[in-house]
């Protein structure tokens, strides 16, 4: 029997548009599963008009439109809320939805620090709701095949991983704005970590936590991290995650730069070309004799975000409260690893640690200080956030 999942979209920005278009693709055009996604509501903190325009642009023609997130999460027809706001707001927005009794899919980075992640997980569990970080790459057939190869021992023991995500996006405000919890690590570093955690950590039955060290170069103007290198060590395996928001990992966007992720085992290594968030092929290179083999994993239909949406639908249909492919622990532990680096270097994440914002909407977009937060003209949060370099 076909299962229909009713979505509410919280925040009508760029990725929400891509995701919603993927949700509303004709299911028969690209996959064969018995779930249907409906977008029944869109919510914008800017205006109801923006929510309406967003619904028109994305083809969510039956959706109701709301001019606030508070109204959106109260919509009784919504089964699951997709949180697609800047990092600074994930905690408050996801908490708003959970407290309204809604299941939640929250964009990466899940939260600005591990403490916030733990609180969301506790709340979802206490309320018996589904919660997941939107690490869409984990559901790609490429990722599934890679995890299978590692589990089956085809690569031998994994000894080293090199994982890089560099993208020239410093013109985008939410990337560099400390008040929106910008910075390379929270934005791009999630994918550098993804390839490490979905293999070494995810496939380890003991879920051993890594030791972490990090080197960070701050953006002089804003104080957020611009170039970050994290070294993660497990017994028998080391990994290096690098990220930056000013230099491309693959400058020509044609894979000419070679792999951005290398997973090195005792029998073979796997090389994945950029972009690490949407990879479509990998090469398996055996140690010693044996043929080098290129494997293609084309994305047919949309942008490939529907795989994670389907996973949400399967879980909710089957009464699961978290995904086995993206367990909640795998949002909390990498969050803790990011905290280690940021604390040592005094960049944004640690600054956010002290002040968990309770507002659902910040008027701050590009200006450099936070004063008062209002939602429905009611002041919800007035704690100033310490500014970088203070």
Using alpha carbons, select from 305, 317, 175 the residue that is nearest to residue 245. 175
d(C-alpha 202, C-alpha 101), whole Å? 29
Are 105 and 15 in contact, with CB atoms under 8 Å apart? no
Confirm or reject binding of residue 290 to ligand NAP (CB under 6 A).
Answer: no
Q: In the set 97, 100, 180, 270, which binds ligand NAP (CB under 6 A)?
A: 180
Please identify the residue of the shown chain whose CB is closest to the bound ligand NAP.
13
3-state secondary structure of 325: coil
Q: How far is the CB of 206 from ligand NAP (least distance, A)?
A: 29
> Rg for the chain (alpha carbons), in Å?
20
Confirm or reject binding of residue 136 to ligand NAP (CB under 6 A).
Answer: yes
Cα 41 from chain centroid (whole Å): 22
3-state secondary structure of 327: coil
Query: Among residue numbers 306 through 365, which ones bind ligand NAP (CB under 6 A)?
Result: 361-362, 364-365
Of the CA atoms within 13 Å of residue 42, those in its CB half-sphere come to: 29
Confirm or reject binding of residue 12 to ligand NAP (CB under 6 A).
Answer: yes
- Binding range to ligand NAP, per CB under 6 A, among 8-16, 21-29, 57-65, 236-244: 8-16
Confirm or reject binding of residue 89 to ligand NAP (CB under 6 A).
Answer: yes
Confirm or reject binding of residue 183 to ligand NAP (CB under 6 A).
Answer: no
Q: How far is the CB of 362 from ligand NAP (least distance, A)?
A: 4
- Binding range to ligand NAP, per CB under 6 A, among 40-48, 96-104, 248-256, 380-388: 40-48
Q: In the set 63, 73, 84, 114, which binds ligand NAP (CB under 6 A)?
A: 84
Q: Which is nearer to ligand NAP, 155 or 326 (CB)?
A: 326
Confirm or reject binding of residue 46 to ligand NAP (CB under 6 A).
Answer: yes
Using alpha carbons, select from 154, 261, 242 the residue that is nearest to residue 198. 261
The residues, ordered by sequence, that sit 6+ positions from 377 with a Cβ below 8 Å of its Cβ are none
Q: Which is nearer to ligand NAP, 8 or 11 (CB)?
A: 11
Confirm or reject binding of residue 86 to ligand NAP (CB under 6 A).
Answer: yes
Confirm or reject binding of residue 372 to ligand NAP (CB under 6 A).
Answer: no
Confirm or reject binding of residue 50 to ligand NAP (CB under 6 A).
Answer: yes
Q: Which is nearer to ligand NAP, 107 or 330 (CB)?
A: 107
Q: How far is the CB of 154 from ligand NAP (least distance, A)?
A: 29
Exposed/middle/buried for residue 5 (C-beta within 10 Å: 0-12, 13-18, 19+): buried
Q: How far is the CB of 363 from ligand NAP (least distance, A)?
A: 7
Size of site (CB under 6 A) for ligand NAP = 27
Q: Which is nearer to ligand NAP, 84 or 94 (CB)?
A: 84
Q: Where are the alpha helices (DSSP H) in 9-86?
A: 14-23, 48-58, 69-74
Pairing of strands 103-107, 35-43: unpaired
Q: Which is nearer to ligand NAP, 229 or 359 (CB)?
A: 359
Confirm or reject binding of residue 374 to ligand NAP (CB under 6 A).
Answer: no
Are 158 and 146 in contact, with CB atoms under 8 Å apart? no
Contact mark string toward ligand NAP, 246..285, x via CB under 6 A: -------------------------------x--------
Q: Which is nearer to ligand NAP, 138 or 149 (CB)?
A: 138
**Percent composition of the chain: helix, strand, coil (DSSP 3-state, to 5):** 35, 25, 40
Helices 114-126, 329-345: crossing angle, 10 deg rounding: 160
Contact mark string toward ligand NAP, 16..35, x via CB under 6 A: x-------------------
Left, alpha or beta for 221 (phi > 0: left; psi -120 to 50: alpha)? alpha
Contact mark string toward ligand NAP, 186..225, x via CB under 6 A: -x--------------------------------------
Confirm or reject binding of residue 232 to ligand NAP (CB under 6 A).
Answer: no
Could you list the beta-strand ranges (E) of the chain. Answer: 3-10, 35-43, 64-66, 80-83, 103-107, 131-134, 158-166, 211-218, 225-234, 237-244, 259-265, 268-273, 281-286, 293-296, 373-375, 378-381
What phi, psi does 261 have (nearest 5°)? -130, 130
Where on the chain is the footprint of ligand NAP (CB under 6 A)?
11-16, 44-46, 50, 84-87, 89, 107-108, 134, 136, 174, 180, 187, 277, 361-362, 364-365
């Amino acid at each position: 029997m076909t299962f229909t999942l009713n979505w509410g979209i919280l925040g009508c920005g760029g990725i929400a548009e891509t995701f919603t278009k993927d949700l509303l693709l004709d299911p028969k055009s690209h996959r064969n599963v018995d779930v249907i996604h409906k977008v029944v509501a869109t919510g914008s903190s800017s205006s109801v008009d923006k929510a309406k325009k967003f619904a028109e642009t994305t083809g969510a023609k039956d959706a109701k439109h709301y001019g606030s997130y508070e109204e959106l999460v109260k919509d009784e027809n919504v089964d699951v809320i997709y949180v697609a706001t800047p990092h600074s707001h994930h905690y408050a927005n996801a908490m708003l939805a959970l407290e309204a009794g809604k299941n939640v899919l929250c964009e990466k980075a899940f939260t600005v620090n591990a403490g916030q992640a733990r609180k969301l997980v506790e709340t979802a569990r206490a309320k018996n709701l589904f919660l997941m970080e939107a690490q869409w790459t984990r559901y790609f057939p490429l990722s599934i095949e890679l995890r299978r190869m590692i589990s089956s021992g085809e690569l031998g023991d994994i000894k080293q991983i090199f994982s890089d995500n560099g993208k020239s996006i410093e013109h985008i405000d939410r990337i560099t704005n400390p008040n929106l919890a910008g910075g390379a690590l929270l934005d791009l570093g999630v994918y550098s970590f993804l390839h490490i955690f979905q293999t070494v950590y995810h496939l380890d039955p003991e879920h051993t936590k890594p030791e972490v060290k990090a080197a960070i170069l701050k953006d002089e103007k804003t104080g957020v991290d611009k170039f970050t290198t994290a070294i993660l060590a497990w017994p028998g395996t080391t990994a290096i995650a690098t990220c930056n928001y000013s230099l491309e990992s693959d400058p020509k966007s044609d894979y000419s730069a070679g792999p951005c992720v290398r997973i090195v085992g005792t029998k073979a290594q796997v090389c994945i070309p950029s972009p690490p968030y949407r990879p479509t092929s990998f090469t398996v290179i055996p140690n010693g004799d044996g043929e080098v083999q290129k494997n293609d994993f084309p994305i047919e239909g949309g942008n490939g975000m529907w795989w994670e949406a389907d996973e949400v639908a399967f879980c909710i249909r089957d009464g699961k409260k978290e995904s086995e492919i993206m367990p909640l622990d795998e949002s909390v532990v990498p969050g803790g690893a990011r905290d280690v680096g940021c604390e040592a270097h005094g960049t944004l994440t640690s600054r956010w640690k002290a002040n968990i914002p309770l507002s659902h909407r910040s008027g701050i977009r590009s200006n450099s200080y936070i004063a008062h937060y209002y939602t429905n003209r009611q002041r919800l949060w007035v704690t100033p956030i310490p500014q970088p370099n203070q």
